[in-house]
Amino acid sequence: MTKKKTIVSSPAPRIMGTPFHSRTEAATSTAEWYRWGDYFVVDVYTDVRQELAAMRERATVNEMSPLWKLSISGPDSLKLINDVVTRDISGQEVGQIVYTPWCNQEGKVVGDGLILREEEDSFVLVAGPNEDWFKSFSGGLEVDVVDTTDESGILALQGPRSREILESATGTSFSDLAFSRSRICELGGVQVRVIRTGFTGELGYELWVEPDAAEDAWDALFEFGTTLGLVPAGEYAIDIARVEAGLLIIGSDYKGAGPWHGVDSYPDSRQECSPRELNLGRFVDFSKDHFVGRQALVDEETSGGAPYRLVGIELTESAVCKLLESEFGSVLPRVSRTVYQLNQGTQTVGYVTSLTWAYSLGKIIGLAHVRSVVVDDGKEVSLVWPSSDEDQHLLDARLTELPFRKHLRK
């Protein structure tokens, strides 16, 4: 007897517009969109160079609603978070935002993100999808861990005129709102949480609003901001801005060491990293008696430190010309997620991620994972560029400190 085979189809992935979709769709003059998790957001509204220039010189609004948000609440919420993350957040104030990585038992970074303390026993983690990771350490604790990504829309208001625009639109002064602090106010007749932070290196704020009130908040912001030079900017521009600011992303610049790596697959050359390898050592608090991965990080410290360091890399002018002559009509049409081998002489000394043409700086830059001894001994290196004819081009480059562009956000 032959059994009838039953085919079970996987549910189609959901794709949604953000709470601001009606406004972003009306504002864009291109067909360039970007898939971010379960959402589509505008990649380029008009021209990436103009959008990046507006961010650096005036102000822009960037769609950030797809950021994964995890609510951690209950009497043991502080204990759970402090047992997992590398920083000590026991003194975190209500309304304060803390940046931190968290590691596995081997001391490799599982993820990094922001923790907002809404109330004494209520936190919001803004990072990649880490619900399963935090839940795995919640056994026996009185705590609720819930994905709340869809429960708020987020706009990033960034640029030197962002405070002026925000104050005009809300009728409230923000001169006393310190970096990494938040405040509730009214914008366009709706309540918003304003957080002084951003992912561009500029002075800026994030505006959190309930989905039903998102369009009103958008309209009010542009009602007051347009005359001050406010324009929307897409994901392409903010991606370049964060590289110029030396800010890393899981899945692009390091391989997450937990159940979620950042992307679906990796070349073998992209590595799991310790906080010190990612220049995040200052966010590891060894004064805590316990957190996941503590002993491995202590061992790293006592055995001579991390084998790699994250630094900047700049291609020389001759290397850029070589690229243009060999196979390029335009240099790096967006931030490249490809991993490029890095040599010093005939020796492989590291690799490069997030390579891009930095419009604000007029050069090609990237983030480089380089052997610590090489960083200490020399700055001249070669980036190995794969060619369409299966040959390799060696492009002259130099190592630099991060960030490429001084942070103005504070």
User: pLDDT, tens digit, for every residue of 42-94?
Assistant: 999 999 999 999 999 999 999 999 999 999 999 999 999 999 999 999 999 99
List, as own/partner pairs, every contact residues 343-346 make where C-beta atoms lie below 8 angstroms and the sequence separation is at least 24, other chains included.
343/381, 343/382, 343/383, 343/384, 343/394, 344/374, 344/378, 344/380, 344/381, 344/382
Q: Do 190 and 59 belong to one domain?
A: yes
Q: Do 166 and 56 belong to one domain?
A: yes
User: pLDDT, tens digit, for every residue of 368-388?
Assistant: 999 999 987 668 999 998 876
Residue 93 sits in a domain whose CATH number is 3.30.70.1400
Residue 141 has pLDDT above 90, yes or no: yes
| Partners of residue 34 on adjacent β-strands | 41
pLDDT-above-90 percentage for the chain: 79
Residue 335 sits in a domain whose CATH number is 2.40.30.110
Q: Does the residue 260 lie in any domain?
A: no
**Mean per-residue pLDDT of the chain:** 91
Residue 6 has pLDDT above 50, yes or no: no
Q: Does the residue 11 lie in any domain?
A: no
Residue 204 has pLDDT above 80, yes or no: yes
Q: What is the mean pLDDT of residues 27-56?
A: 95
Q: How many domains does the chain have?
A: 3
Q: Do 100 and 216 belong to one domain?
A: no
Q: Do 127 and 224 belong to one domain?
A: no
pTM of the model: 0.91
Q: Do 54 and 162 belong to one domain?
A: yes
Q: Does the residue 257 lie in any domain?
A: no
Q: Do 60 and 73 belong to one domain?
A: no
Q: Does the residue 6 lie in any domain?
A: no
Q: What is the mean pLDDT of residues 234-248?
A: 96
pLDDT on residue 329: 45
> What is the distance between the alpha carbons of residues 222 and 41, in angstroms, rounded to a whole number?
18
- pLDDT category, 260, cuts 50, 70, 90? confident
Q: Which range of residues forms the domain containing residue 140?
A: 66-145+274-303
Residue 41 sits in a domain whose CATH number is 3.30.1360.120
Q: What is the number of H-type helices and E-type strands within the chain?
A: 10, 20
Q: Do 23 and 134 belong to one domain?
A: no
pLDDT on residue 392: 76
Q: Do 173 and 115 belong to one domain?
A: no
DSSP string computed for 299-361: HHHHTTS-SEEEEEEEE-HHHHHHHHHHT-SSS-SS-B---EEEEETTEEEEEEEEEEEETTT
Q: Do 282 and 176 belong to one domain?
A: no
C-alpha count within 13 angstroms, C-beta hemisphere, residue 250: 28
Of 286, 303, 320, the position where a domain reaches its end is 303
Q: Do 317 and 395 belong to one domain?
A: yes
pLDDT on residue 328: 47
